[in-house]
Structures are given as structure tokens and as C-alpha cells.
Structure 1
Amino acid sequence: MRIARIAHPQGVAFVAVHGDEAAEIAEHPFGTPTFTGRKWPLADVRLLAPILPTKIIGIGRNYADHAAELGNEVPAEPLVFLKPNTSVIGPNVEIKIPAASERVDFEGELAVIIGQPCREVSKAKAMGVVMGYTIANDVTARDLQKKDVQFTRAKGFDTFCPMGPFIETEFDPSDVRVVTEVDGEVKQDGRTSLMVHDIPSLIEYVSGIMTLLPGDVILTGTPAGVGPMTAGQTVSVTVDGLGTLTNPVANR
């Protein structure tokens, strides 16, 4: 099922997308969704970020080529950081460059959406707690990341976590292409099969630290090719089978 979150003439709703039509989901999309019967043409609604998580868990240096390009070692265990949910924006919303940073980078990624409360999930059972997958851009103020050492400020600004356009619930994430373009020029081109720590391993590791709740997001890391964005540019992240997430860039 393809799930989205939309703004429609009467408010905001979760919907299931079938072709060019959006069917309203009653209450929430977790478990087995039920429907209200209301429908809209996709052309008449605005796509929002498909989920508003309680927390966003980022995984750093999960592609060896990306770790190398920044002069870092590949971590033996997943390198975990958090982004606030206030950093989330949807498709076509501006990424805002803060005055505090002189270099803000794109990082195209596959994002995992958790579907049920869970903790201490084994690797063998990890995929059973996944609701689906979407596309994310782990926007990072690279100069502040280097200055602060820890990642909170560099990755926590408002608008620094674009997500969307949809959540796909039936999707094989094991070997798909992840491409980031800036103004149509390819900057990143990798495959999820090159992750250092695969998705079941990440879920096992993260859920051993903190309880995961429905809608929480795990960003699975970014391939090599990260680089700066500037106001006036447009950044698009494409994951095969999930579509394309596009956001313009502007100064705050």
C-alpha cells in the first residue's frame, strides 16, 4: 500500500494512494487501516511529510565510501544520533539555510518507518516491526558538525529533515539505488546493498537502546557524494521504487 499524508480542503488526513486518487484513512495508518469513504484527486490536495514521528534516529557513516570521503573510520557499531521532529518538512517545502552555517550539505537516504511499539527486537524479527519505507534528506550543517563534534545542532535545524512523498508498505529495501541530484546534476549514486549495517541490524541495535514507537523513523545513512547546497538550488533524492523527494533551497 502507498500511504501519504495530505492537506485537503477540509483539513489534514492520512490517505492510501491508488493511481491519481487519495482515499482517506480513518484515524491512523498503523495496523490494518480502515477507510472513511472520502476521496480526492491527488491534483486537488497537497502532499505533506508522510509521518510526524516522535523521534528520528539517524545512522552515521553507514556507507564505507561516505565515511572515507569525510576522513572517518567505519564504525564497528552503528553510529546513532537524533534529529528533532521539528526538523521534518514535506515535498516541495523550502530547506532553509541558517545564518549560523556557511556550509549546509544534502544527504539522500532511505528511511525506515516503524509500525508498532517495540524494544529489544532481535535481528530475526526486526522486519516485522516495519510499517514501510520513504525517502529522506538528512540535511547537515557540515561546518557546525565539525565544530561541535556531536551532531545535534548540525542536524537539528528546522527544515533539516525533508521526507516523502509516500510510505510504501510493500517494498524490498535490500538492494535499491539511491540518487541525489542538485539542479538536475547527479551528486550521489549508491545502493542500499552497500550499507555497513543492514536494516535488521539497525533495528536490533536501536531498539536495544530506546523504545521505538509507531511512526518513528530510522535514517539508514547516506552514500558518498555529499556536498553543499545554496539558496536558489533544488535538491531531489530518488530511491528506486519509492519515487522522488524534491525540495528547493532558500536562506532563512
Structure 2
Amino acid sequence: MERYVRFNNGSKISYGIVNGDQVVELVGDELSHFQETEIIHDLSSLNLLPPCSPTKAVCVGLNYKDTILEPGAKWPVEPLLFIKPSTSLVANGKSIVKWPMTEHLNFEAELAIVIGKEAHLVPEKEAHHYIWGYTIANDVTAKDLQKSDGLWGRSKSFDTFLPLGPWIVSGIDPHNLTITSYLNGEQKQKGNIGDLIFGIEYLVSFISHITTLLPGDIILTGTPGGYGKTLNVGDKVEIEISEIGKLSNQCVECKEAWSMPPRIKEQ
């Protein structure tokens, strides 16, 4: 098992491999042909970034057998997909912003697949060759906007609505991992990756027949135990996946200038 991190290193962004409490800096093409250098950093001293830089995050809805369907929803016969923009990414330990346009945030614990090389029309049996590793994701959602819009684009796409990290783990069997979420220390979700309706290799293959997956792109595989719970300002949400680690972020109020007028509520 290997753990890869991405971090600010002066004026450049570097990758490293975690060795205990230290990080060995890597050189080479992104995600491939990495070579270790003699440069070593203390892990605690680094400003960790999201562990990869995807062109897109392809996300899967309603993908756990224990999902509690909302009124009117049906079980999917094919993966239900949506895309989150790369600008929604935020690193482990950074803040999730509650923007003025929304009044109701939810969080969703998810395993993220990290693509290691260009994937186009990939057969399911070969999908594992295209996976670099796995990390932890939080699919933050403006639940009120999701319901009012009917479509999911706006509710999923705000800046900071995709916490990711803290690192990418390779060399593990991902098919029987435990995934758990906590809100202010209290367990809210618990599931097992083995309960996915559409499995890891199938998702890579299916999505690669729709859009070419590029190195660093991620696939969010869905959330267990129904849906995540409400996230309020001041709350701390932690997502833990066995053999990978823990992703931790706190929700904060927007402090930036906001020029949009208040929402017009239905009469």
C-alpha cells in the first residue's frame, strides 16, 4: 500500500509519497513514471492540496443497496451520473462554505476512484489497469436547490462543495472497505463498498464509454445509508474509509462580498 499526497512546495506544486511521518518528494510526469528524490519533508509541515487535479469529477447517484429512496424515486437500471466541476474541490482541513444562495446543506460520504491514465472505451475486465488509486470524497449538496431545480447541476457545483483527500491510496483491495461519516463526532452513516449496486470496475468501463477519463479525473461512487445529514455553520464533518484514512472539514458562513439579490421565495 502506498499513499500519495499533493502539496504546495514554494512556487510549485509537488507530489510525494508518505513514509510514516515524512513525505518523500517525487519527480516525473503527473500520476505516472514517478521517481523518488532525496528531498524529504515532515508531513505535518506541508500544506496539503486535494490529492489530484481532475478535469472533472463524475459522480454516481443512488448506488448503494441500503439507499432509502425519496418519494417518487426508482432504483436505477444504469448508473445515474452527474458532474461536479474542478473548482468545487477543497482539501482536507479546509472549510466548506455555506453560500447565501442556499439554506440547506447535506453531506455525503463517498469513495472516489482516481484515474491513472487516459481511459476511453475500456472493457470492464481491463478497468483496474486504468485506476491509480482511491481517496475519500464528500459530495456536499445544496439540498433545497436540488429539490427546487429538479436538475442537480447548481446544487452540487458551488466552490468548496467537493472536499477530497487527504491522499490517494494504491495497492489495496477496495471491494470490502467500511465507509463511515461523523457529524461533530456523532456517527451518521456507515456502509460497505461491497454494497455498491454498480461496482468499481463497471463504473470505470461505463463512464469511459460516455466521456474520456483523463489522468487525475475522479469517479465518486455514491453514498451509503441513504443520504448524508444536514450540515450547518460550525459543524465539523468527518468521513472515514478503512485502509484509506479520514477526511475532515468544517462548515463556515460566507464572508465574501455577495452581489446576487436574495432569493425570491414562493408565495
Fold shared per TM-score above 0.5 = yes
Q: Give the gaps of 5 or more residues in structure 1.
A: none
Counterpart in the other structure of 2:230: 228
Counterpart in the other structure of 2:187: 186
Counterpart in the other structure of 2:43: 42
Deviations 1:6-27 (A, max 9, x none): 2245643111111111111114
Whichever residue aligns with residue 150 of structure 1, its letter is L
Flag the 1:149–1:214 CA change in 2: closer, same or farther, 3 A. same
Q: C-alpha distance in 2, partners of 1:3/1:28?
A: 14
Counterpart in the other structure of 2:128: 127
Q: C-alpha distance in 1, partners of 2:50/2:38?
A: 22
Counterpart in the other structure of 1:116: 117
**1:29-178 equivalent positions in 2, closer than 5 A:** 29-68=30-69, 72-178=73-179
The TM-score with structure 2 as length reference comes to 0.91
Counterpart in the other structure of 2:252: 250
Counterpart in the other structure of 1:239: 241
Q: What is the DSSP-based 3-state SS (H/G/I as helix, E as strand, rest coil) of the residue aligned with 1:68?
A: coil
Whichever residue aligns with residue 147 of structure 1, its letter is S
Counterpart in the other structure of 2:203: 202
Q: C-alpha distance in 2, partners of 1:9/1:128?
A: 33
Larger radius of gyration: 2
Whichever residue aligns with residue 226 of structure 1, its letter is G
Counterpart in the other structure of 1:25: 26
Q: Give the gaps of 5 or more residues in structure 2.
A: 255-267
Whichever residue aligns with residue 22 of structure 1, its letter is V
Please identify, of 9-18 and 215-224, the stretch whose mean Cα deviation from structure 2 is larger: 9-18
Q: CA RMSD in A?
A: 1.4
Aligned length: 252
The TM-score with structure 1 as length reference comes to 0.96
Moved over 6 A (4+): none
Flag the 1:19–1:79 CA change in 2: closer, same or farther, 3 A. same
Q: C-alpha distance in 2, partners of 1:11/1:234?
A: 30
Aligned identity (percent) is 37
Q: C-alpha distance in 2, partners of 1:65/1:49?
A: 29
Counterpart in the other structure of 2:261: none
Whichever residue aligns with residue 120 of structure 1, its letter is L
| 8 Å CA contact retained: 1:67, 1:73 | no
How far apart are 1:31 and its partner, in Å? Answer: 2.4
